[in-house]
Amino acid sequence: MNEKDIRWKQRFENFEKAYIFFESAVEKESYTPIEIGGLVQAFEFTFELGWKTVKDYLEEQGVVTRFPREAIKEGFNTQIIEDGHSWLHMLEKRNELSHTYNENVARKAVDIIKNRYYPAIRQVYQYFKGKKYGS
Q: Which residue has the higher pLDDT, 135 or 42?
A: 42
CATH number for the region 3-133 comes to: 1.20.120.330
pTM here?
0.92
CA distance 95 to 98: 6
Domain boundaries, the chain: 3-133
Does position 57 have pLDDT exceeding 80, yes or no?
yes
pLDDT tens per residue, range 6-51: 899 999 999 999 999 999 999 999 999 899 989 999 999 999 999 9
pLDDT tens per residue, range 76-130: 999 999 999 999 999 998 878 877 778 888 889 999 999 999 999 999 999 999 9
Non-local CB neighbours of 59 within 8 Å, separated by 6+ positions: 4, 7, 8, 65
Percent of the chain having pLDDT more than 70? Answer: 95
Closest CA to 45 of 55, 34, 53: 53
- Band of pLDDT at residue 5, cut at 50, 70 and 90: low
